[in-house]
Amino acid sequence: MAWVCAIVLFAGLAHGLTGFGFPVISTPMVALMTDVRQAVVVTLLPNIIVNVMSVFSGGGWRGNLAQHWLVPVVVLVGTVIGAKVVLWAPADPLRLLLAAVIVFYLVQARLARLDLAVVKRHPRASAVAAGLAAGFLSGTVNVMLPVLLIYFSILELAPLVMTQVMNACFLVGKLSQAAVFGIAGQFTLHGIGLALPACACAYAGYAAGRRIAPRIAPSRYRTFIQGVLWIMAAVLVVQAARGMIA
Cα of 11 vs its chain's centroid, Å: 11
Q: How far apart are CA 176 and CA 174, in angstroms?
A: 6
Residues 29, 7 contacting (CB under 8 angstroms): yes
Alpha helices, H only, 142-217: 145-154, 159-183, 189-212
Q: Specify whether the backbone of 90 is left (phi greater than 0), alpha (psi in -120 to 50) or beta.
A: beta
Q: What is the pTM of this model?
A: 0.73
Residue 76 pLDDT: 92
Residue 195 pLDDT: 78
* Helix (H) or strand (E) run with residue 221 in it: helix 218-245
Q: Specify whether the backbone of 144 is left (phi greater than 0), alpha (psi in -120 to 50) or beta.
A: alpha
Residues 213, 16 contacting (CB under 8 angstroms): yes
Burial (CB count within 10 angstroms: exposed 0-12, middle 13-18, buried 19+), residue 41? buried
Residue 48 pLDDT: 86
Q: Quick one: the chain helix, strand, coil %, rounded to 5? A: 85, 0, 15
For the chain, residues with pLDDT lower than 70 are: 55-61, 108-117, 187-191, 218, 220-222, 225, 246
Burial (CB count within 10 angstroms: exposed 0-12, middle 13-18, buried 19+), residue 23? buried
Residues 17, 221 contacting (CB under 8 angstroms): yes
Residue 179 pLDDT: 86
